[in-house]
Structure 1
Amino acid sequence: MCALSPLPRPLFIGHEIYRASTYGRWHPLRVPRVSTVIDLCRALGWLPPGVYVTSPRAKPAALTGWHTPDYIAALVRAEAEQVVSDTVRARHHLGTPSNPVFAEMFRRPATAAGGSLLAGELLAGGGVVFHPAGGTHHGMPDRASGFCYLNDPVLAIRSLRANGAARIAYIDIDAHHGDGVQRAYQDDPDTLVLSVHEAGLWPRTGMLNETGAGNVFNLPVPRHLNDDEMVMIRDALILPAISAFRPDAIVLQCGADAVADDPQSHLSLSNNAHWQIVAGLMGMAPRLLVLGGGGYNPWSAGRLWAGVWATLNGHTVPAVLPDAAQQVLRGLTFQGNKRGRNPDPAWFATLRDTPRGGALRDQVRKDVAQLAARL
Structure 2
Amino acid sequence: MTPRTILQVIPELQTGGAERTTVDIARALVSAGHRAIVASAGGRLEAELLAVGGEHIALPLATKSPLGLWRNSRALARLIRHEGVDLVHARSRAPAWSALWAARARKVPFVTTYHGIYNQKSALKAFYNSVMARGDAVIANSHYTAELIASRHPLARGRISVIHRGSDLAALDPAGIPQARKTALAERWGLAPGERVILNLARLTAWKGQRVLIDALAELAARGTPETEGWVAILAGDAQGREDYLRDLEQRIEAAGLSGRIRLVGHCDDVGAALALASVSVVASVEAEAFGRAAVEAQAAGVPIVATDLGAAPETVLAPPEVAAEARTGWRVRPGDASALAEAMGSMLALSPDERSRLVARAKAHVAASFTVEAMCTATLAIYSRLLAQRA
Task: State TM-score, norm by structure 2.
Answer: 0.28
Per chain length, whose mean CA-contact separation is higher, i.e. which structure has more relative contact order (CA < 8 Å, sep 6+)? 1
State which structure, 1 or 2, has the greater radius of gyration over its C-alpha atoms. Answer: 2
More helix per residue: 2
Task: State TM-score, norm by structure 1.
Answer: 0.29
